[in-house]
Structure 1
């Protein structure tokens, strides 16, 4: 599968999250502890929002993240308050740039860990459900990008939780018609430049790992000697496929079949259920 990070909060250098933590995303690309695969070297991507720009920048490549000089150059010079990063382990689709996450349309970004089981059998039926006005924009061959465009079709720009729920319903109903017992496995992050939504769901109720960071004020009380915690605001949050370090009390598991919303002044966690 894959590993990913979504960051929202005080603008920081991307390298502070991607490279510096003990179990950073770059370390996870080589030594994942909680993923299906230990190594995630089938491409990578980062996407970030810059001040006064509504459309995020995206850098993607097919090589492994751990030795990409362009990624190091960008990460040590770009500062952002909302960014995504993803390292890929393909579930069967080609290793090519258009299959690397995150995916982008206008101000929206999307990344995914998981799979649509038997995707090669379900793909045609699912693709036919994409709005014809959007279909031509699909560049790659992954289930993840198709899920993004299905969510866009079902109203992602107006109601992200509802659109993702309707997308999940379609995938599961289509899978069941093709005798796939547990069609969908997903942890998803989606952002619009100001807000971040994260989802953890699977048809069998055994989703891939996903964690969110504890409130910064609580961490300061727990670890007054951790100086870097004084540098970020109490609005700062991280959502990750697996924890970036071993700081006690720093990480909380996103509950099974739940979604979270992160935006200035508001953090919420809700039950997630596919809907017709």
Structure 2
């Protein structure tokens, strides 16, 4: 399983999540403590927002702990909203196009989890994409294709609902293709204004997700696992939850694959 961290609030240097904390994302890339696999060495990526609508992005297939450029960039780049990811591959080879975050227009997306039997339904998922979104697909992962499917299903107008509709469709296709229907999905995504996250699994065993205030009033960090040992600072986000961080701070809602959200 992968590890990731995301932030929205007053501008921070990326190193505040990526490299400086005791359990920074780089530390988690070779010594994760709350994942099935401790090593996440199949590449990494960062996406950050600045003066333009579309995010900047840097990805590589090197393990995060061995890329000196990542530490240097994280020390110099300051942003009010960014996503960072270290990868443990489950679907798709170790290549740059398969490293998260994925981007399209103003959107960025990263994922920790899996679609069981993905190879059996990949073609049917691809068939639902417009030519523009199909041609935007450069990698081979289930994560990228699920992101594009959510965009197809209206992410620009209804981000959480679109992801819910995409997951519901994946579960439907999986049920048709085999006896195994399993989606494990803990993801963060953003349009450059708000930061969203979802924690969900068909079997109610999703990858972990935590939140903590950071960066002053209204700022929050969302992570796969806490960045330090201050256990009181971190709140675990329950299974079946959607999170939005905006100018109003952090809000949670109940997440259902059909796309319906109920205030928590």
Provide the TM-score with structure 2 as the length reference.
0.95
C-alpha distance in 1 between matches for 2:202 and 2:179: 10
- For the structure 1 residues 180 and 127, does the alpha-carbon distance in structure 2 shift closer, same or farther, using more than 3 Å as the test? farther
- Residue 119 of structure 1, CA deviation: 1.0
CA distances 1:173-207 after superposition (whole Å, capped 9, x unpaired): 11111224332111011101110110001111111
Partner SS state of residue 155, structure 1: coil
Tell me by how many angstroms 1:267 deviates.
Answer: 2.1
Residue 23 of structure 1: aligned partner: 23
8 A Cα contact 1:108 1:190, kept in partner? yes
CA distance in 2, matches of 1:63, 1:139: 19
Alpha-carbon offset, residue 128 of structure 1 = 1.0
Partners of 1:238 and 1:191 lie apart in 2 by 13
Residue in 2 aligned with 1:48?
48
CA distance, structure 2, for counterparts of residue 153 and residue 146 of structure 1: 10
Match of 1:255 in 2: 238
- Say which SS state the counterpart of residue 60 (structure 1) adopts: strand
Residue-by-residue CA offset, 1:39-86 (whole Å, 9 max, x unaligned):
000000000001x31110000001100010111121111111100000
- Structure showing greater radius of gyration is 1
RMSD value, Cα:
1.2
SS of the residue 2:108 aligns to: strand
Q: Name the structure 1 match of 2:218.
A: 235
What stretches of structure 2 of length at least 5 have no aligned partner?
260-264
Shift of 1:248: 3.5
Q: What's the counterpart of residue 156 of structure 1?
A: 155
- How far apart, CA to CA, are the structure 2 residues paired with 1:239 and 1:199? 11
C-alpha displacement of 1:115? 0.6
Aligned to 1:205: 204
Taking the TM superposition and a 5 Å limit, the aligned residue runs for 1:173-252 are: 173-213=172-212, 215=213, 232-252=215-235
Asked if 1:272 corresponds to 2:255, the answer is yes
